[in-house]
Amino acid sequence: MNNAVLNEVKKIIPGDRVCRDEPMNRHTSFRTGGPADIYVSIAGFDELQRLLSFLYGTGEDYVVIGNGSNLLVSDRGYRGVVIELLSGVSEISVEQNTINVQAGALLSRVSDAAMKHSLSGFEFASGVPGTVGGAMVMNAGAYGGEMKDIVSGVRVMDKKGESHLLSNEEMCFGYRSSIIREKEYVVMETRFSLINGDQEEIKEKIRDLSGRRREKQPLEFPSAGSTFKRPENNFAGKLIMDAGLAGFSRGGARVSEKHCGFIINTGSAVSDDIYSLIKEVQERVFAAYGVMLEPEVMMLGDF
Of 171, 189, 215, the last residue of a domain is 215
Residues 82 and 130 in one domain: no
163 and 273 inside one domain: no
Residue 82 Ramachandran class (φ > 0 left, ψ -120 to 50 alpha, else beta) = beta
Distance, CA of 96 to CA of 88 (rounded, Å): 25
Q: Please give the pLDDT value at position 201.
A: 97
Active site residues: 176, 226, 296
Burial (CB count <10 Å: 0-12, 13-18, 19+), residue 72: buried
Domain extent at residue 53? 3-87
Question: Taking the alpha carbons of 58, 61, 66, 67 in that order, is the dihedral positive or negative?
Answer: negative
181: amino acid identity, one letter: R
Residue 145's domain is classified under what CATH number? Answer: 3.30.465.10
- Pair (182, 226) in one structural domain: no
Q: Are residues 209 and 231 in the same domain?
A: no
Beta carbons within 8 Å of 108's beta carbon, 6+ residues apart: 126, 127, 128, 129
| End position of a domain, from candidates 87, 122, 149 | 87
Cβ pair 264, 32 in contact under 8 A: no
Q: Is 102 exposed, middle or buried (0-12, 13-18, 19+ CB in 10 A)?
A: buried
> Residues 164, 99: one domain?
yes
Burial of 192 (0-12, 13-18, 19+ CB in 10 A): buried
Do 94 and 206 belong together in one domain?
A: yes
Residue 29: CATH number of its domain: 3.30.43.10
Task: Indicate whether 261 and 186 sit together in one domain.
Answer: no
Instruction: State the Cα–Cα distance between residues 65 and 165, nearest whole angstrom.
Output: 20
Residues 98 and 83 in one domain: no
User: Cα separation of 252 and 235, whole Å?
Assistant: 25
Predicted pLDDT at 116: 97
Q: How many domains does the chain have?
A: 3
Domain CATH code at residue 266: 3.90.78.10
Same domain for 122 and 195, yes or no, is yes
Same domain, 12 and 57: yes
Mean pLDDT by 10 residues, the chain (303 residues): 88 92 98 98 97 95 96 98 97 98 98 98 95 97 95 97 97 97 97 98 96 95 96 96 98 98 98 98 98 97 96
- 104 and 189 part of one domain: yes
Which residue, of 42, 72, 87, is where some domain finishes?
Answer: 87
pLDDT tens sequence across 80-134? 999 999 999 999 999 999 999 999 999 999 999 999 999 999 999 999 999 999 9
Q: What is the pTM of this model?
A: 0.94
The reply to whether 243 and 207 lie within a common domain is no
Which residue type is seen at 133?
G
Whole-number pLDDT of residue 15: 78
Q: Is beta strand 151-157 parallel, antiparallel or unpaired with respect to 163-167?
A: antiparallel
Looking at residue 197, its pLDDT comes to: 97
